Amino acid sequence: MSRVAYVNGVYAPHGEAVIHVEDRGFQFADGVYEVWSVFDGRLADFDGHMDRLFRSLDELKIAHPMGRGALAAVLRETVRRNRVRNGIVYLQVTRGTARRDHPFPSGDVAPSVVVTARSMNRTAMEAGARKGVAVITQPDIRWGRCDIKSVGLLANVLAKQAAKERGAYEAWMVDEMGLVTEGSSTNAWIVDKDGKLRTRDTQANILRGITRAAVMTLIAEQGLELDERPFSVEEAKQAREAFITSASAYVTPVVSIDGATIGDGKPGPIALRLRELYLEKARDEAA
């Protein structure tokens, strides 16, 4: 029996069911999901999962793709079309498809909805349950591996959206010690009050920015002093200069942090010089 998946209003053969390449679920993990177990074609703990789904959507400010009744109809129809008597039905709702950009897309972007269902062999499952299962332990790293350039960027998306809502370009993330880790999509830098360039070390939980590394080479070539050491929000506010680096922002001066003016409120000379040098070298050496 061929499987069927529901994607944005269409029931398609499972193997042909596709979402757009710029779906935010694919690009940023900017979506939510639920799984119901199916017993004799009916959905278990129906309300519990529905309530959690709508709560998750509301927490992320993702629009409701449809009402509860309509969604229930789609879930049941997917179960029916897949002839699932015992198994699971999976629902995913993402913020929809838009040009890749961290903040929520503006305008009328419809959330994407995907539903799949599959049968499970409950007899085999019962036999397994009677034997019991083994577990292992693992450090809880959810999500403590910011050194990996993962597409699991939901936290970054929320930080960038917060920046946008407060009229800022970027959000610098701060750890439990009050130290800046990095930007939502950039590395964070300051020129501290002693004139030293500062950026957090990569032992810590940050992305090892390629632009960051290139800028470090420039700093060494220029004979500037670099201190690869975390800085606090307070130190940043009192810095002579601040800037961010990334493949899409190059070296971009920062002129205010949480409303506090940095330096004289104008892009700093070191940041501007590093930008110029970076662009020159990047263009020259682009492969």
Give CA–CA dist 109/24, Å, rounded: 11
**What is the distance of C-alpha 172 from the center of its chain?**
15
247 is an interface residue for ligand PDD by CB under 6 A: yes
Q: Which of 92, 186, 199, 252 binds ligand PDD (CB under 6 A)?
A: 186
Q: Which two tokens stand for residue 128?
A: 């397994």
Q: In the block, which residue shows the tokens 């085999």?
A: 124
24 is an interface residue for ligand PDD by CB under 6 A: no
Q: Which of 97, 185, 199, 252 binds ligand PDD (CB under 6 A)?
A: 185
Q: Quick check: 110 and 61 in contact, CB under 8 A?
A: no
Q: In the block, which residue shows the tokens 């880790």?
A: 181
Q: In angstroms, what is the minimal distance from the CB of 8 to ligand PDD?
A: 26
**How many other CB atoms sit within 10 Å of the CB of residue 207?**
20
Specify the stretch interacting with ligand PDD by CB under 6 A; choose among 2-10, 12-20, 81-89, 185-193: 185-193
Classify residue 19 by burial, with Cβ atoms within 10 Å: 0-12, 13-18, 19+: middle
Residue placing its CB nearer to ligand PDD in the complex, 27 or 82:
27
Give CA–CA dist 44/50, Å, rounded: 11
Q: Which two tokens stand for residue 195?
A: 């004139």
Q: Quick check: 217 and 282 in contact, CB under 8 A?
A: no
Q: In angstroms, what is the minimal distance from the CB of 124 to ligand PDD?
A: 43
Specify the stretch interacting with ligand PDD by CB under 6 A; choose among 2-10, 35-43, 125-133, 244-252: 244-252
Residue placing its CB nearer to ligand PDD in the complex, 34 or 170:
170
Q: Which two tokens stand for residue 63?
A: 């629009």
129 is an interface residue for ligand PDD by CB under 6 A: no
Q: Which of 116, 187, 199, 252 binds ligand PDD (CB under 6 A)?
A: 187
112 is an interface residue for ligand PDD by CB under 6 A: no
Catalytic residue among 61, 149, 193, 266: 149
266 noted as active-site residue: no
Q: Site for ligand PDD (CB under 6 A): how many residues?
A: 14
Residue placing its CB nearer to ligand PDD in the complex, 116 or 185:
185
Give CA–CA dist 243/147, Å, rounded: 20
What phi-psi label fits residue 8: left (phi over 0), alpha (psi between -120 and 50 degrees) or beta?
left
Q: Which of 245, 253, 263, 271 binds ligand PDD (CB under 6 A)?
A: 245
Q: Quick check: 229 and 200 in contact, CB under 8 A?
A: yes
Classify residue 3 by burial, with Cβ atoms within 10 Å: 0-12, 13-18, 19+: middle
Q: Which of 212, 240, 242, 271 binds ligand PDD (CB under 6 A)?
A: 212
Interacting positions 141-180 with ligand PDD (CB under 6 A): 156
Residue placing its CB nearer to ligand PDD in the complex, 78 or 156:
156
92 is an interface residue for ligand PDD by CB under 6 A: no
Q: In angstroms, what is the minimal distance from the CB of 236 to ligand PDD?
A: 16
| Residues of the shown chain interacting with ligand PDD in the complex, contacts defined by CB under 6 A | 156, 182, 185-187, 207, 209-212, 245-248
The set of catalytic residues is 149
